[in-house]
């Protein structure tokens, strides 16, 4: 593919290629075992092709538009394309675009205000990942904010954070994920007014999102379970199993003293009673007659309620490319579910 709409000298103007990942989010009424099949069929004409022969200007945004049209009569709530591990765009039917760009830096830190004996009170380190999210009304434009433009804005912050002790960076004396997300937001939002969220991944299974006012944290866990589901899409009913990926999203006010909303360790501990009912068990039974991802999410919400009152969304993947999302917070699914 070549993207001639980009400025002269931009690398994407040259002939190049990607291993694209497409995704679609549909409402439960439209969901079913055939969604993955319909998406696979929609993108098949693009596979192993020169995209310019199919889409005259194959920007990520136009590729998403093409896929959304190919999915008709299915009407997804959003369609997305991830052109690299670190870049992607999602579009809703109104043309509202959500672009994101991922960055990584290696740094040390300690949390000076945690209780005595807390492991985060010791000096340690992470390979932090920061995702910058941009939202804009795209209209009929072929391309939104260029990923490289976002990278240029990030570069000065990377220089301050990479291979450093975060406690020594002005403004990050208490460098929790929440404080780091706010620090990045305050540095970038004046120069990037379209910035909608800053995500900080402290580890591969925990992180937080900040939109300039509110924080959400997420904690990921995995469980191994057996299921028996009714026949669908040509598959016979049979006993089988999955390695499930579950992401718990919680919203809570910031504790200005500790510098976090909820301790990730506390989330893990609170989820343990529910986890123990799921991991290395057969899920279908009298208490859970329908073990489909959507039904399982409803069961998990009720089971988690006594233990995690701040929980407002659960993502559940039964395979690395298929799953379901349940949310009940006031603001809906602010961010798309990135694949595990």
Question: pTM to 2 decimals?
Answer: 0.91
Same fold, 94-213 and 218-340: yes
Report percent pLDDT > 90 for the chain: 72
Whether the bond into 73 is cis, omega within 30 of 0: yes
pLDDT 10s digits, 266-293: 999 999 999 999 999 999 877 777 888 8
Q: Which CATH architecture has domain 94-213?
A: 2-Layer Sandwich (3.30)
CATH dotted code for 218-340: 3.30.479.10
Please report which residue ranges of the chain form alpha helices under DSSP H.
35-43, 60-70, 147-161, 177-188, 264-278, 293-304
Burial category of 142 from C-beta neighbours within 10 Å (exposed 0-12, middle 13-18, buried 19 and up): middle
* 228, 183 Cβ separation under 8 angstroms: no
* 114 closest CA partner among 127, 124, 106, 105: 124
Question: How far apart are alpha carbons 298 and 328 in whole angstroms?
Answer: 11
The CATH H-level superfamily of 1-92 is 6-pyruvoyl tetrahydropterin synthase/QueD (3.30.479.10)
Would you name the residues annotated as active-site residues? 120, 163, 202
* Domain definitions of the chain by residue range: 1-92, 94-213, 218-340
DSSP state of 13: G
pLDDT in tens, 61-87: 999 999 999 998 888 889 999 999 999
Q: Please, which pLDDT band fits residue 141 given cuts at 50, 70 and 90?
A: confident
């Amino acid at each position: 593919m070549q993207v001639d709409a980009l400025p002269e000298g931009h690398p994407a103007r040259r002939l190049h290629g990607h291993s694209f990942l497409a995704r679609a989010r549909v409402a439960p009424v439209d969901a079913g075992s055939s969604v993955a099949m319909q998406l696979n069929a929609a993108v098949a004409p693009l596979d192993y092709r020169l995209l310019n022969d199919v889409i005259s200007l194959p920007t990520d945004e136009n590729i998403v538009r093409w896929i959304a049209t190919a999915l008709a009569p299915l009407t997804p709530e959003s369609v997305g394309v991830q052109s690299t591990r670190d870049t992607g765009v999602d579009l809703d039917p109104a043309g509202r675009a959500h672009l994101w760009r991922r960055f990584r830096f290696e740094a040390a830190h300690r949390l000076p205000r945690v209780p005595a004996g807390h492991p985060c009170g010791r000096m340690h380190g992470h390979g932090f990942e920061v995702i910058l999210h941009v939202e804009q009304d795209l209209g009929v434009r072929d391309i939104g904010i260029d990923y490289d433009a976002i990278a240029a804005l990030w570069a000065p912050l990377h220089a301050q954070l990479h291979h450093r002790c975060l406690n020594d960076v002005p403004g990050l004396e208490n460098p929790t994920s929440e404080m780091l997300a706010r620090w990045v937001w305050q540095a970038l939002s004046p120069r990037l007014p379209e910035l909608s969220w800053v995500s900080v991944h402290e580890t591969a299974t925990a992180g937080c999102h900040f939109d300039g006012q509110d924080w959400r944290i997420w904690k990921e866990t995995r469980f191994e379970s057996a299921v028996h589901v009714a026949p669908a899409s040509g598959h016979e009913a049979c006993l089988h199993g999955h390695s499930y990926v579950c992401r718990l999203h919680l919203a809570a006010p910031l504790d200005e003293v500790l510098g976090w909303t909820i301790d990730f360790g506390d989330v893990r501990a609170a989820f343990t009673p529910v986890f123990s009912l799921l991991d290395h068990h057969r899920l279908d039974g009298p208490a859970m007659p329908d073990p489909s991802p959507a039904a399982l999410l409803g069961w998990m919400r009720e089971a988690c309620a006594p233990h995690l009152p701040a929980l407002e969304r659960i993502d559940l993947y039964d395979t690395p490319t298929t799953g379901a999302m349940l949310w009940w917070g006031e603001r809906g699914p602010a961010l798309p579910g990135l694949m595990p």
